[in-house]
Amino acid sequence: MYGLFVDAVILAGSPVASGEGVLILLQNHINVARETTKINTEMIGTFRSPDFGLFGYMDGTSQRLYHQSW
């Protein structure tokens, strides 16, 4: 759990995330909150952005964004 919090802090402080609004980081997948919906109410890893796709991926301390948020 501690690692997840550290990853979220690293993402929030990164220049890549600056100006992108609220981001969701789960299982190293980055999604923009306003584009994301929870597909299955009983499972944790079911946040998806069906209309826009995955916003990015976090690997250690580096982030890779696939597109710009709206």
Q: For the chain, 70 residues long, give each residue's pLDDT as a single digit of tens.
A: 457 788 889 998 988 888 888 998 888 889 888 888 888 888 877 888 877 888 889 887 888 888 766 5
Contacts of 23 (CB under 8 A, 6+ apart): 11, 12, 17, 30, 31, 32, 33, 55
Three-state secondary-structure class, residue 57: strand
pLDDT at 2: 58
pLDDT at 70: 58
